[in-house]
Amino acid sequence: MSNHPILLAEQVRKRYTEGPQPVEVLKDVNLRIDGGQTLAIIGASGSGKSTLMHLLGGLDRADDGRVQVCGRDWAQMNPKAQGVWRNQHVGFVYQFHHLLMEFSALDNVAMPLRIRRTPAEQAQTVAAQMLQRMGLDARLQHRPGELSGGERQRVAIARALVTQPQLVLADEPTGNLDSDAAAVALDMLLDVALAQGDAVVIVTHEAAVAARCQRQLRLVNGALQDA
């Protein structure tokens, strides 16, 4: 068993150079998360939350510092290796579901498994089991356009969790839902992720969502501080 934390960020900085003056979005961000831990990062719109999530997931590169997931530094991998590592270790949930509209819920959820070359029948079996855990066993063959907003988001959550990632990064995962659908989706996300022993990071501007996590940090002027 590895002694590495699931996620480690040390002295992370990110700046953008658009316009006459560079803008420092993140300043000396330090973060450590182990398996089974849940963290909410709270911040106003434009505070850099999504930028931070992209850095943590290896979708963007820090200007300074380092970000490691499961013991490997994103900056030390080429794009192909990053893609493989993400598929093996990271699940993403966004405010908008980003499902493939021409595919069924089952095929959408099976997709990450097929990318890692899991045989089709096995991938569909595992995907069906995950959708059942999301309360969607009657919706396996429905396409996203035939589902409610809350159901679509639960399919997206199932897709993020189906590979049993060590790290789940959720960017405003309930921000596009009404309160009832949001509560169901958040319950499903946390229940299944924690049952798998995943580490979960949720960025949100909603205090009620943040309160569901074990730890809360606030992103203020590019730095993380206790909420």
- Quote the pLDDT of residue 4: 76
DSSP-assigned beta bridge partners for residue 44: none
DSSP string, the chain: ---S-SEEEEEEEEEE--SSS-EEEEEEEEEEE-TT-EEEEE--TTSSHHHHHHHHTTSS--SEEEEEETTEEGGGS-HHHHHHHHHHHEEEE-SS----TTS-HHHHHHHHHHHTT--HHHHHHHHHHHHHHTT-TT-TT--GGGS-HHHHHHHHHHHHHTT--SEEEEESTTTTS-HHHHHHHHHHHHHHHHHTT-EEEEEES-HHHHTTSSEEEEEETTEEEE-
How far apart are alpha carbons 51 and 135 in whole angstroms?
32
pLDDT of residue 169: 94
Burial 107-143 (b: 16+ CB within 10 A, else e): bbbbbbbeeeebeeeebbebbbebbebbebeebbebb
pLDDT tens by residue, 60-92: 999 999 999 999 999 999 999 999 899 889 999
* Separation of alpha carbons 156 and 170, rounded Å: 11
Return the pLDDT at 176.
76
Amino acid type, 86: R
One pLDDT digit (tens) per residue for the chain, 227 residues: 456 799 999 999 998 887 778 888 898 899 999 988 999 999 877 778 888 999 999 999 999 999 999 999 999 999 999 998 998 899 998 877 788 999 999 999 999 999 888 999 999 999 999 999 888 999 999 999 999 888 998 999 999 999 999 999 998 888 777 788 888 888 888 988 888 888 999 998 888 889 989 999 998 888 888 86
Could you tell me which CATH number the domain at 34-45+77-218 has?
3.40.50.300
Neighbours of 45 (CB within 10 A): 8
Distance, CA of 59 to CA of 83 (rounded, Å): 9
Helices 120-133, 149-161: crossing angle, 10 deg rounding: 130
pTM of the model: 0.88
DSSP-derived pairing of the beta strands 23-33 and 72-73: unpaired
Which sequence spans correspond to the domains of the chain?
A: 34-45+77-218
- 203: tokens are 């960025």
